[in-house]
Structure 1
Amino acid sequence: MTRTNEERRGLGADIVQRLLPHRRPFLFVDCIKRYRLGEVRSIEASLEISVNHPVFDGHFPDWSVWPGVYVIEGLGQTTQLLATLEAIRRVGAERQDESLGLDALEALDAAYSLRPGAAPSQEGLALLEKMSRSPIVGLASRVDLRFLEPVLPGCRLDYRAQWTREQNGVLGFDVEALVRRRPVARGELGASINTRIPTIRWATASGGLQSAKP
């Protein structure tokens, strides 16, 4: 089923960790709230900032402030998620169904969340396996951000990113970070396409989830 430019539902922490190579304490996206692919490509994600994060032991001793470099990294991880999802859509489109892998992600997310739903198709899982071996997006090639307000522990940091350009293997994104709907940082990020999705046994994960369901 084709759903170009239709807003798609969010994806939880377990799916995020299967799409990104980062791991705690340097994983700065908890979940994807919503995203849109095709001609207009955008994503919204978020991170709950706990006062128990180890960075607050020294940043700063008398005033806990979320580091600006972590805001940049969280926005970068958000753009990587968007690029990865768009790559999954494109591979599906080559097979005449651009929702093939995306629907499999949603089915896996429902299983992780113990929500009722259809099992992911074998074709969708096979596509995700293929994407584990495909180049997606890599290190930032350009960072142009303006910080507007400090980010403090105990808040939810919301990320927004829109894919604005793609040329010679370099992607451009307009990005914004918000707390309680107030912008705390905004600007542009660029990224080069030179890394891969983590190698994942999607079919194994799906089978384990199906057997674990009550």
Structure 2
Amino acid sequence: MTTMDIHQILEHLPHRYPFLLVDRVLDIVPGEKIRVLKNVTMNEPFFPGHYPHHPVMPGVLIIEALAQAAALLSFNTMGSKPDENSVVYFVGIDNARFKSPVSPGDQLILEVSILLRKRGIWKFAAKASVDGQTAAEAELMCTLRTIE
């Protein structure tokens, strides 16, 4: 599978509205990288409060969208889907930088590549861009846990 529509994404992520922050997988190379699209619309639930006079997507939600892209890459690499007892947790977020605001009408392109996979810890290089300009970037570390 090299692309995923929203129905396939919903099979691979436990997130749902209002916290599902990816719309389409444009390209995926299991074990290597993924490129994902997030359409940013004025209908996002955070815009009325951030900020009413100049809506800007919160940086923490851009990082979360990158993490969701990373989770899609991880599950695809493992050849599995999450079950109701699977949770992906952040272990660390390093070198996060926010370079330009993301506004309603933007198409956010999320690019994530695997840097390391060791003892259940995944480390990713992640970048979000709009029209070819970097909006945010970070190194993300995550782990998959089963909850009881």
Name the structure where helix makes up a greater proportion of residues.
Answer: 1
Cα deviation digits, residues 45-88 of structure 1 (max 9, x gap) = 01100112121111112110011111010000000000000010
Distance 1:78 1:20, change over 3 A: same
Q: Match of 1:14?
A: 7
Larger radius of gyration: 1
SS in 2 for 1:152: coil
Matched, 1:77 2:68: yes
Cα deviation digits, residues 98-129 of structure 1 (max 9, x gap) = xxxxxxxxxxxxxxxxxxxxxxxxxxxxxx6x
Matched, 1:138 2:88: yes
Q: Match of 1:43?
A: 34
Task: Give the Cα separation in 2 of the matches to 1:132 and 1:23.
Answer: 14
Gaps spanning 5+ residues in structure 1: where? 1-7, 89-127, 197-214
Match for 2:116 among 132, 143, 165? 165
Gaps spanning 5+ residues in structure 2: where? none
Q: Match of 1:86?
A: 77
TM-score by length of 1: 0.64
Distance 1:186 1:83, change over 3 A: same
Task: Give the Cα separation in 1 of the matches to 2:84 and 2:57.
Answer: 34
Q: Match of 1:54?
A: 45
Runs of 4+ in 1 over 6 A off after TM superposition: 134-137
Q: Match of 1:177?
A: 128
Task: Give the Cα separation in 2 of the matches to 1:74 and 1:52.
Answer: 17
Q: Match of 1:65?
A: 56
Task: Give the Cα separation in 2 of the matches to 1:56 and 1:141.
Answer: 28
Name the structure where strand makes up a greater proportion of residues.
Answer: 2
Distance 1:193 1:152, change over 3 A: same
RMSD, matched Cα: 1.9
Do 1:83 and 1:137's aligned partners in 2 also have CA atoms closer than 8 Å?
A: no
